[in-house]
Amino acid sequence: MEKSNPSEVHMNGLQIPRHFTQAGTNPFELYKYQVLNSTVRNATGEPIGEPINVEVPMAWSQLAADILAQKYLRKAGVPLSGGGTGAEHSVKQVVDRLAACWKHWGEENGYFASPEDAQTFYDEVVFMLLGQMAAPNSPQWFNTGLFQSYGIDGKSQGHYHVDAKTGKLRKSESAYARPQPHACFILSVKDDLVNEGGIMDLFVREARIFKYGAGAGSNYSDVRGKGEALEGGGTSSGLMSFLKVGDRAAAAIKSGGTTRRAAKMVCLDLDHPEIMEFIQWKSQEEKKVAALIAAGYSADYEGEAYNTVSGQNSNNSVRIPDAFFQKLQTGGDWELKARTNGATLSKIPAAKLWEEIGNAAWTSADPGLQFDSRINEWHTCPADGPIRASNPCSEYMFLDDTACNLASINLKPFWNAKDQTLDVAKFAHAVRLWTIVLEISVTMAQFPSKEIAQRSFAYRTLGLGYANLGGLLMSAGLGYDSDEARTITGAITAIMTGISYKTSAEMAAILGPFAAFKRNRASMLRVLRNHRFAAYNAPEACEGLKVLPQGIDPAKCPEYLLEAACNAWDAAIQLGEAHGFRNAQTTVLAPTGTIGLLMDCDTTGIEPEFALVKYKKLAGGGYMTIVNQSISTSLRLLGYADHDMRKIEAYIAATGNIEHCPELRPEHLSIFDCANQCGPQGQRFLSAQSHLKMMASAQPFLSGAISKTVNMPHQTSVAEIKACYEQAWSLGLKACAIYRDGCKQSQPLNTSAQKQESKANVVAELDPQAILEAARQIMAASTDTTFKRELSRIVERKRLPARRAGFTQKAKIAGHTVFVRTGEYSDGTLGEIFIDMHKEGASFRSLLNCFAIATSIGLQYGVPLEEFVEKFTFTRFEPAGMVEHPNIKMATSVVDYVFRMLALEYLQRTDLAHVADESPEKTALSIAQNETNEWGAAKPTTDASRISTSDAPPCNVCGHITVRSGTCYKCVNCGTSLGCS
């Protein structure tokens, strides 16, 4: 294999070549622009705040414009040309203040070889930001450049910084002269109540971080357990008592008027005396929530039931060393140690502890696991202590009292769809450019405490990553769960981190290595050699690892990618041996919640495609259903003719899935597998193992870890969850979080319109009007009579027989009697409903009758019952409350009860019943007997296996239900991230 030599290092500064712009050309003039009106609406459709007209490039979506307008535009203090101050109104202003600020600090501190290189840096960054090719984390957008561009200033908020020229720690005198660009913090906590660095001081430090939209994590293992002796006499109230105080503090800050939810991580070592209580914390709280909901309190995540209990404002993780797994495999006991003197306080069978972890995760999705031995085997600075914790999303893992600023590169703009190759030169250039951006951001930053300021400046950890991997793979005709996809992912990640460390070594030659490099030199070079061995697919050569990494398989990897990956690591190590490294870490894979939406990414981070049908947000409000744009690219690449592509896309539009489309060749089916089952009748989805294997392909080439949740279906067993966790450990991952669908008591209490909007642009759900319109258009244009006949079956009304079967169900809702009568087709499927209530006004009864007629007509025109169930369960209005029914004990409205009951009877949706073991004699036998729908697609026996975010929390800004993004949540209505990116 041909080797490339490291680029020449110019000791007077960095040289910046041009890849996207030309000298003398204004980068802003390389795009055409549009003015969009941004009005974000809440869950009831009412506007939030004032409408804003914002100028963005023509290629930007309405959602991307909304995020810029509502979150990132400075609303006051911007100088106006005619005098006075106003607000930002254009992406040009925002991008200029970001890039100009980075350029200013770079020039001031000797990063660039010449003024021409500084201008090139500015131009290239501007081009990438406008082209949605990359984006920094939200704190950068919030305040970077406000002082330099607009002169905005204010009193210090208690921040500190280190002067880059003198190396001295100083207290900041200004709130804006130095921005806080970091999103991820790891804070230490001592076994002390009120002194500096102790428990109560931690809450103050967290508050300062949460206030500015960032997140923090801490390992509480130094805090003594309940009953341990105190120096002044008496015994400790225990760790859990203080965790509950911190949980309440985070909740108060979350509701204190900020636009971002407090992001908090709590880590605990497995040998802590209160580890069992910590593991069971959230699962026990879920039982309390269930009791409160049964008593009539709202199941809404923001409702009284969840607000009453503790543990709802943090992600919880257990730190597990390899020694535990050895005990687990041999059937040994695990020892719990005193925090004061290290004495063994008690022993628990390892199998019992493991079972409790599985049970807790099954019930509440917490705790996640962080594999302590694996994390510290890849630690670049072990001479300064172990890595003990992570940020809230689990991708940044480093020493206590340090911070990381993030940026992500959108992969799809670097993928050449015509020849199916990655433009390695441009991608490497982008990686180099954004490594420099993040490094400059460390120099200019201020931090919320003295310790964080000193240590972050000393170690200079960066968090460069990428987004849109899932979209790239599908458009390239590669299934997410394939060896080829995993190999390409490994190679792209290897190139990114190799080039980033190479750039770090270049900067070290000019500015010097990070302060702690010398005493950690041997360890850091060992870690980087292990990265390089994985790139060369020689894991057996790795040093100091108990679990060998997954290398890049040369038989499955395109030669040009493999060569680029190996060359990047050769150059990084060669330059690093000569000059050291400017940064102790350079890369992570963050969830890219808000910034992923800002870049109009199909997928976030390392996630697969979410669904085949998405919703596109419209300027005037509402959404338009569209078929995933990666599908047509993939079909064309796979050699499908245009008329077959149109039929396949029509099928997807009509059914939401692709599973039984006659035009799709069976060998291509796996290419279109998504994180979720697609459409109401889809059955296929990516397995938990496919997520773990993809993470394992990227992990050997990352400085940090991966923010990702492994989604698992509702019927997943505790044993399967434990097996998933154990496989994550055996694959060499640093952390793993799982989420079993429906494990929370919370359900979204919203209208059908709300639920559609909450899934906008993400979840593939069948939209009845879109189906009819798509079918009519295809019928009108098609010359294929057979195909037209099949399409006509979904737009023609299917009449019920004059004499029909069915049943009548009586129930009481909050004392009001309700009768529901059904009518069935000869095959037993539902065709009509009648609803009648006594003791209600004529208008209310008439509205219910009209609603039943409209539903019946929809059923007869082919709208699946599953769609009505998804749209109308959990709607909320009076009468509501306790229900007298064998299986359904609580309803939020009459309509909620009706569709719960119909789902139980006709769809076997036991997940919507409260008492599943007393089901009526009629259990949807007709569904079991009629195993295919009109399109020949198999019908699922239950919807409980659908992987969704049905119990995700609502957005704290607009109220729409969020969707998962890594280990956090994001809102696809307003773009709010409930994490720290």
Residues noted as catalytic: 391, 393, 395
Rg of the chain (C-alpha set): 29
Amino acid at site 43? A
Distances (CA, A) of 87 to 54, 79, 177, 972: 11, 8, 19, 25
DSSP code for 613: E
What 8-state DSSP symbol labels residue 731?
Answer: T
For residues 306 and 282, the answer to whether their CB atoms sit within 8 Å is no
Contact 661, 648 (CB under 8 A): yes
Residue type, 936: G
Q: What is the 3-state secondary structure (H, E, C) of 800-817?
A: CCCCCECCEEEEEECCEE
Q: Are 721 and 356 in contact (CB under 8 A)?
A: no
Alpha-carbon distance 649 to 626, whole Å?
Answer: 10
- Say which amino acid occupies 517: F
Q: Is 341 exposed, middle or buried (0-12, 13-18, 19+ CB in 10 A)?
A: exposed
User: Half-sphere exposure of 93 toward its Cβ, with a 13 Å CA cutoff?
Assistant: 21
Percent of the chain that is helix, strand, coil (3-state, to 5): 40, 15, 40
Q: How far apart are CA 265 and CA 214, in angstroms?
A: 12
Write the DSSP assignment of 865-912 as a string of letters.
Answer: HHHHHHHHTT---SS-EEEESSS--EESSHHHHHHHHHHHHHH--GGG
- CB count within 10 Å of CB 29 equals 7
C-beta separation of 893 from 876 below 8 A? yes
Secondary structure in 3-state letters for 157-183: CCCEEECCCCCCEEECCECCCCCCCCC
Question: Is residue 927 helix, strand or coil?
Answer: helix
Q: How far apart are CA 214 and CA 710, in angstroms?
A: 24
Candidates 72, 201, 54, 163; CA nearest to 594 is 72
Query: 937 near 660, Cβ under 8 Å?
Result: yes
Burial environment of residue 23 by CB neighbours within 10 A (0 to 12, 13 to 18, 19 or more): exposed
Q: Which segments of 212-320 does DSSP mark as H helices, in order?
A: 239-254, 275-294, 304-308
Region for 887 from its dihedrals, namely left if φ exceeds 0, alpha if ψ lies in -120 to 50, beta otherwise: alpha
Residues 397, 399, 403, CA angle at the centre, nearest 5°? Answer: 70
Nearest 10 degrees: Cα torsion 693, 699, 705, 709 = -10
Tokens of 315: 């992600």
Peptide bond connecting 27 to the previous residue in cis, omega within 30 degrees of 0: no
Could you identify the residue written with the tokens 């499955």? 556
Under 8 Å between Cβ of 103 and 121: yes
Stated as kind and residue range, the H or E segment containing 745 is none
* Coil vs helix vs strand at 554: coil
